[in-house]
């Protein structure tokens, strides 16, 4: 009897401890974000720092976004045609491909790719800078790492994400067009005009843009925080990198559900 | 105890009743130290006693549990960030590992503090950087990336970077480790020359007793969270405290333990 109680007590204390641990981390990451916000104004005179990061965060992610966007578009074309042709409405293929990419797949898949490609390298880079005392040495040179290292990467992430998502959607639509119009014989005029009629600029396009900005914000924040908070060893950095990608992906998916639920409800 | 903290006092850095612990391990227990302006003060102590920790406390990267540290009359742990950063511009620090910025070349690393804190024209920056690199014998390495340097070279580049802004003081963390006899000699002389010609205050943390005593004006011996002896090199050489003798003569046994605190060896081995 007592041993059962002991097991239950142990279990509860374990749960309690990991709960405390979790909330402590959430608290630290929010504190991190606030410090980061305070460092943002210092970027105004230094746009060069942001541009340099736009290259490594954004441009370096373009290829993977192009390739994935194309494949997703091709599959959408095939699957969409397959369903629509049963209802004799294959001319709506443009609508289907356009809406699903712009509203959902573009922002979400780009955000997952972004977390895997750009986010992981941000975490590893910051973790290594911490492990090799580069943050300490900057602080001793009277340079604030938040202003010079973290803030420019954060802004670059927020700017890059919507642009990458737009590229993803555009390439995906071309992929859908290639399969639908090029291979399966959907009328090209119908493909474009149906898409044009049914995709609303504010309801659909801007919805996707806001989503991708929100995803860029959260996944860059998570990636940077994981790197900054990493245990300063090789193992700690590698664990932080994995953790960062996993957390960012889960948060993006959950956030996507919440945003979608909220915006569909108000329609 | 009179705390001398005014800007004209002879000591640039004064540490008073400093206590610091990491978890349960006491690193410093009520320590007092003074570092005289324009002098080279050497801190000797076994590995793991907290020499690097002391430098980080002086640079206000760590906060003490108790006690104060004044640098040039200012309590470093009470300064607001902007004033602390102003003070740090005048404090050079050479990290034990070099801590160079890995995405910049050697040249850009040394130029970094100049670019951040001055508005000097490019020609002037180039001139200053090459001068500092020449002083540490690495002008030829200006174009290399930090990953292409050996440990000893990285530390010399870090030294060039630490003196880039002509600070009022430099803290050297193990400047001699990883140097061959030749660069060691050059480095010892460089530290001495910098100190004398620029009127710097130097603080050297090391285990290299011989090199250190050759240029030190004053020595502190720390172990087990305490200052166990202090004085000029001549005085310490004559000292017959067992601690001092053991450390200066490099004897393995004596009051200073080579071992990190541990349970009894035999008991640990047999597992109970
Ligand atoms: N981040 C840390 N967390 C916990 N303990 C630490 C940390 N850094 C150092 N310590 C502990 O503090 C003590 C002092 O470390 P410190 O690096 O100051 O030693 P040191 O005198 O510079 O040694 P060495 O001569 O080997 O460089 C060590 O016992 C170490 O275990
Ligand atoms: Mg050390």
Q: Which CATH number is B51's domain given?
A: 3.40.50.300
Condensed to tens digits (0 to 9), the pLDDT of residues A158-186 reads 999 999 999 999 999 999 999 999 898 88
Condensed to tens digits (0 to 9), the pLDDT of residues B55-67 reads 999 999 999 999 9
Provide the sign of the torsion angle of the four alpha carbons B222, A138, B115, B81, taken in this order: negative
Asked whether B50 lines ligand 1 (CB < 6 A), one says yes
What are B229's strand-pairing partners?
A: B221
- Of the spans A15-29, A167-181, B216-230, which averages the highest pLDDT? A167-181
Please answer yes or no on whether A132 and B97 come within 8 Å at the CB atom: yes
pTM of the model: 0.86
For the residues B24-51, what does the mean pLDDT come to?
Answer: 90
B22 Cα: distance to centroid of ligand 1 (angstroms): 9
DSSP B185: H
HSE-CB of B255 using CA atoms within 13 angstroms = 15
B3: left (phi over 0), alpha (psi -120 to 50) or beta: beta
Q: Is B86 on the interface with A (CB under 8 A)?
A: yes
Condensed to tens digits (0 to 9), the pLDDT of residues B151-195 reads 888 888 999 999 888 899 999 998 887 778 888 888 888 888 888
Asked, for residue A36, whether it belongs to a domain, the answer is: no
Q: CA dist A73 to A81, A97, A217, Å?
A: 12, 7, 26
For the residues B9-32, what does the mean pLDDT come to?
Answer: 89
Q: Please tell me the total count of domains within chain B.
A: 1
- Which range, of A140-144, B83-87, B95-99, B201-205, averages the lowest pLDDT? B95-99
Residue A213 lies in domain = 52-266
Q: Please tell me the total count of domains within chain A.
A: 1
pLDDT given for residue A25 in this prediction:
86
HSE-CB of B202 using CA atoms within 13 angstroms = 32
Please answer yes or no on whether B102 and A141 come within 8 Å at the CB atom: no
Please answer yes or no on whether A139 and B100 come within 8 Å at the CB atom: no
Asked, for residue A35, whether it belongs to a domain, the answer is: no
Asked, for residue A17, whether it belongs to a domain, the answer is: no
Residue B60 lies in domain = 11-90+167-270
Asked whether B49 lines ligand 1 (CB < 6 A), one says yes
A136, A143, A148 member nearest B99 (Cβ): A136
CA B239/CA A248 separation, integer angstroms: 61
CA A152/CA B101 separation, integer angstroms: 16
Confidence of residue B70 (pLDDT cuts 50, 70, 90): very high
Please answer yes or no on whether A132 and B102 come within 8 Å at the CB atom: yes
Residue A78, exposed/middle/buried by CB under 10 A (0-12, 13-18, 19+)?
Answer: middle
Asked, for residue A240, whether it belongs to a domain, the answer is: yes
Q: Is B88 on the interface with A (CB under 8 A)?
A: yes
For the residues B263-268, what does the mean pLDDT come to?
Answer: 77
pLDDT given for residue B2 in this prediction:
43
Residues with CB under 5 A from ligand 2 (ion): B 52, 96
Number of H helices, E strands in chain B: 10, 10
Asked, for residue B76, whether it belongs to a domain, the answer is: yes
Question: Is it the case that residue B235 has pLDDT exceeding 80?
Answer: yes
Confidence of residue B254 (pLDDT cuts 50, 70, 90): low
Pocket test for ligand 1, best of B42, B45, B49 (most atoms within 8 A of CB): B49
């Amino acid at each position: 009897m007592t041993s059962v109680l002991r097991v239950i007590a142990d279990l509860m204390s374990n749960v309690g401890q990991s709960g405390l641990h979790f909330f402590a981390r959430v608290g630290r990451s929010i504190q991190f974000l606030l410090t980061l916000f305070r460092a943002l104004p210092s970027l105004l005179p230094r746009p060069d720092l942001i541009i340099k990061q736009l290259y490594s965060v954004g441009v370096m992610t373009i290829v993977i976004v192009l390739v994935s966007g194309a494949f997703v578009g091709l599959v959408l074309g095939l699957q969409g045609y397959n369903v629509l042709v049963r209802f004799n409405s294959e001319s709506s293929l443009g609508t289907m491909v356009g809406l699903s990419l712009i509203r959902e797949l573009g922002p979400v898949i780009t955000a997952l790719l972004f977390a895997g490609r750009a986010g992981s390298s941000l975490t590893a880079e910051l973790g290594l800078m911490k492990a090799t005392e580069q943050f300490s040495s900057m602080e001793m040179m009277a340079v604030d790492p938040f202003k010079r290292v973290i803030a420019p990467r954060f802004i670059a992430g927020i700017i890059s994400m919507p642009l990458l998502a737009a590229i993803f959607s555009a390439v995906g639509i071309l992929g859908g067009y290639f399969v639908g119009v090029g291979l399966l014989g959907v009328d090209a005029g119908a493909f474009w005009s149906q898409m044009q009629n049914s995709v609303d600029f504010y309801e659909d396009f801007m919805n996707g843009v806001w989503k991708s900005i929100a995803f860029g914000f959260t996944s860059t924040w998570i990636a940077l925080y994981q790197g900054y908070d990493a245990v300063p060893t090789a193992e700690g950095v590698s664990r932080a990198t994995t953790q960062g990608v996993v957390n960012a992906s889960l948060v993006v998916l959950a956030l996507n559900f919440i945003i979608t639920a909220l915006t569909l409800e108000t329609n | 105890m009179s705390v001398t903290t005014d800007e004209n006092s002879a000591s640039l850095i004064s540490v008073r009743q400093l206590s610091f612990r990491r978890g349960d391990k006491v690193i410093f227990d009520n320590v007092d130290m003074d570092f005289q302006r324009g002098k080279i003060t050497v801190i000797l102590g076994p590995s793991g006693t907290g020499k690097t920790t002391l430098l980080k406390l002086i640079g206000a990267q760590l906060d003490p549990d108790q006690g104060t540290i004044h640098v040039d009359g200012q309590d470093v742990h009470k300064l607001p960030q902007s004033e602390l950063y102003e003070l740090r511009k005048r404090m050079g620090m050479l990290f034990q590992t070099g801590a160079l910025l890995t995405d910049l070349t050697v040249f850009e690393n040394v130029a970094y503090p100049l670019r951040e804190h001055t508005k000097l024209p490019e020609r002037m920056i180039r001139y200053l950087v090459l001068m500092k690199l020449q002083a540490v014998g690495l002008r030829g390495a200006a174009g290399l990336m930090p990953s292409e340097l050996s440990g000893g070279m990285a530390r010399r580049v870090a030294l060039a970077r630490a003196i880039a802004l002509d600070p009022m003081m430099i803290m050297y963390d193990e400047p001699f480790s990883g140097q061959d006899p030749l660069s060691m000699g050059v480095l010892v002389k460089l530290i001495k020359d910098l100190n004398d010609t620029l009127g710097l205050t130097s603080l050297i943390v090391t285990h290299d007793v011989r090199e250190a005593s050759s240029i030190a004006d004053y020595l502190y011996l720390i172990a087990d969270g305490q200052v166990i002896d202090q004085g000029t090199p001549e005085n310490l050489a004559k000292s017959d405290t067992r601690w001092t003798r053991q450390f200066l003569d490099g004897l393995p046994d004596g009051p200073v333990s080579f071992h990190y605190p541990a349970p009894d060896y035999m008991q640990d081995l047999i597992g109970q």
